[in-house]
Structure 1
């Protein structure tokens, strides 16, 4: 019994076998889809605002069900936009950037220009190691993700975040430590999965991509990431080890 003929095109030529997409091809796909879909989402964010402005100019009060529905549309389109932004960041890890000898103090200053700490929060720098060899955008993305997570998931009006770096043999160990509610030990692996949050998104706005992005950056550079509790009852320490 002979094997069936291979799939052929209209000219009778055998079509080449197509294997599963590579990781790079998949990331290219995620990047393109996220980029294109975000253009439509930006329009969806603006449309409720235009409707609200038109109704206001027409003398229609934005209260009751109409006001609530407009607010709901704004909340969900904003949430979708954040997810797409984080998917774009996830797909770009290790790509489209130069390797640099990053000055950690300068990088942190740049991050804090974007991530505004609430009034009751303070950030402490503890850099025994001042520079890190890494992609110029990846270090910004890493610190932004970790500091944003520490603020977003804190349960008090006041908090303390410590950003530290030191050398261990041929590695740089970068840590972000907070005094928030902490993460139970049995959930510390799960929270590094993409799109994962321990609290409903109606309680804490976020895409659930922060720690997934941090883990991808650590692995991209041959390093590791771990979560621990800095004290017995509160806080989370995210430690990223990066070979140099």
Structure 2
């Protein structure tokens, strides 16, 4: 049984000491591909370097994370855009979006940076990998302007309620990224997802090294642990694990295109 981790920061320094071993554990667990988002200008190179070392297995995404948006956001994006030359290796624009959890200091800048990267997605036909925390109203309002033009994407790390899920599912080419939060004791996702979200609108992710699922909670997360998310989804939807793997793999291919297998 094979499945895909659609969001992991395996280029991060947290994996410098054992990246090869981490990748091997992922393969042994059944992970057939990993998708790695850039979060700022510096990380574009670490993401590309990591993906070059694991060809056909690790795939890069290009984006400026909302928490990394500062006053110089426009210059940073100009430099990032230089990477989108013909023949580039990126499979998505991400990790992009809005995050007002800690601060709204750069609220306007985040909105402008997000919109420019949405325009990149439309121009390149690359899907979006969207991070949104405490900004769903603003995000949805933004995306509605481009609803008929968007190529699709992932609403990464969905943890919302039924209303929020329904609001996101109106974007027909998008899926919800589900990770370790699904397994947490106080999570409402085991009830929300089967009631609102078809399995055909879900992809698996870890967001490693963050948010490790139960029974690994509190440890450094890694791609191999996406299997625990898959197992929990199977129980929530009352289907076997192979069905979750096959369906989420099909969803990935629909959003991101055909991958090397």
TM-score normalised by structure 2 residue count: 0.23
TM-score normalised by structure 1 residue count: 0.24
Q: Higher strand proportion, which one?
A: 1
Q: Which has the larger radius of gyration?
A: 1
